[in-house]
Structure 1
């Protein structure tokens, strides 16, 4: 069965089968300033609005279909995980990024346009099915699909494949604190980027903050607190991204150096909250 399960717009479970949205769960949060800036905005967290957003992604770039576009150039947000990683790959600070793609599962990407094209358009991917056209397109653009037969999502094995391929500076996106801990235990030098982390418990938030280099805290109350205490740098205030290690901090600062957008930098005690954020934090 061609089935793809996504956590979108604040942890809402969405199921796509054969290019059609067949199930939308109950939204976990009421609003998110980032979702309001999507190309297909979600201004109100309802099942209907979230379904429209996913359908717009399917039409716009072929998400969860054989038409899936896998390359992109422009930043969708300044400090998004894919934006930070793709810029680092382009600069040569990273050799490769291990990320997840609908229709392919875990992917080893060496092309910065591939990192951005996959990650910049993807919400939290829980499960996916192999789509040969998408896998072929990824491989044609310098990517390696971990398991073309099943499209499994396995960050630990993805990092292992990257290391075995000879890459020494590897980043990986991780949505599970337990997986992040395992990656750090087995591969101490990998750059861990935490994503799609709404709803963590206190213990899970502390686990993630202890091992990650960079985290996007999404609507997680506990991760804002845990990461904020440890962070060396906070990027953004509405939906903050925290750099928790010196290496993570350098990745963010190098992104600032190369952007032509206006940026304010100030000292302060973290975390810093903006006038608006996701509501409620969970």
Structure 2
């Protein structure tokens, strides 16, 4: 069945079936500075959310067989842009990310990271899309039949391919202790990106900020509160990205330097 569930634009739950938006739930916040800046959306409502998702389906075929993979940077500094830069510069061997039509995947090509993840939101469930699986390479998809989303298993898969410096995107803070354990037991270096953090609990925010490397604040007051209280390094972007570790800070600065050199 061609069905995809994503959380986007204020963490509204959206279901897309056969290329059509069939369900949009109320968002948990009604404003996002990114969508205001890039799409002129002043207030997140079910209608404005549906319109934006339909635009993405039409523009690059999100969650459909017409999926395209735009590899130009969407944001100056976001998770996929940082990962792409680190892959390009040789600081990373692989990334473990989630995309529509595949679920959890291991990607080593910087352009593919941006093409797959640059313009999508939090994928909760997805079903197989042939051209996306072909683009990624079937051997790089955790489960091409079920499109399982499981970042811990994805990390183990990356390690089994002998990658040592790996970035992994995490939206569930409960996965982080397990990832740090895997890192220690396999003598590798894992860069944990905390993503999709809007609406998370104080306890989960604390785990992200204590054990993650790069955390996108999204619209999470909990992340911002901890980050600012502890004076954690952050970007000056509209939606701050925090780096609780030296490793995270260095990664962000490598990306900032690349942007500077482009301008």
| Aligned residue in 1 for 2:48 | 49
Deviation at 1:132, TM superposition (A): 1.7
- Determine the structure 2 residue equivalent to 1:156: 152
CA RMSD, 1 decimal:
1.8
**CA deviation vs aligned residue, 1:162-201 (integer Å, no higher than 9, x gap):** 1110101000000011012221222243100000011111
Cα distance in 2 for residues equivalent to 1:97 and 1:131: 20
Q: Which has the higher helix share?
A: 2
Using the TM superposition, give the Cα deviation of residue 138 of structure 1 relative to its aligned residue in structure 2, in angstroms: 1.8
State the aligned residue count. Answer: 259
TM-score by length of 2: 0.93
Residue number in structure 2 paired with 1:221: 221
How far apart are residue 41 of structure 1 and its match?
4.1
- 2:178 aligns with 182
Q: CA deviation at 1:233?
A: 1.9
What corresponds to 2:135 in structure 1? 137
Within 2, Cα distance between the matches of 1:119 and 1:195? 12
Tell me the residue number matched to 1:197. Answer: 197
Is residue 171 from structure 1 mapped to residue 167 from structure 2 by the alignment? yes
TM-superposed CA distance for 1:262, in Å, is 9.8
- 1:15-54 alignment runs, 5 A limit: 15-38=15-38, 40-54=39-53
Looking at structure 2, the residues matched to 203 and 238 of structure 1 have their Cα atoms a distance apart, in angstroms, of: 24
After superposition, residues 265-280 of structure 1 pair within 5 angstroms as none
What is aligned with 1:123?
A: 121
CA distance in 2, matches of 1:111, 1:231: 34
Hey, what's the Cα distance between the residues in 1 that align with 2:4 and 2:176? 23
SS of aligned partner of 2:210: helix
The runs of 5 or more residues in structure 2 that have no matched partner are none
Q: Which residue of 1 aligns with 2:234?
A: 234
Partner of 1:61: 60
Quote the residue 1:254 is aligned against. 254
Return closer, same or farther for 1:136/1:233 CA change in 2, 3 Å cut-off. same
TM-score by length of 1: 0.87
Deviations 1:23-67 (A, max 9, x none): 0001111211111133x4433211111001000100111100111
Distance in 1, Cα, partners of 2:18 & 2:2: 6
- Residues 1:208 and 2:208 are matched in the alignment: yes
User: Does the 8 Å contact 2:60/2:70 carry over to 1?
Assistant: no
SS in 2 for 1:100: strand
SS at 2:91 equivalent: coil
- 1:75 and 1:137 map into 2 onto residues whose CA distance is 18
**Residue number in structure 1 paired with 2:83:** 85
* Alpha-carbon separation, structure 2, partners of 1:228 and 1:117: 32
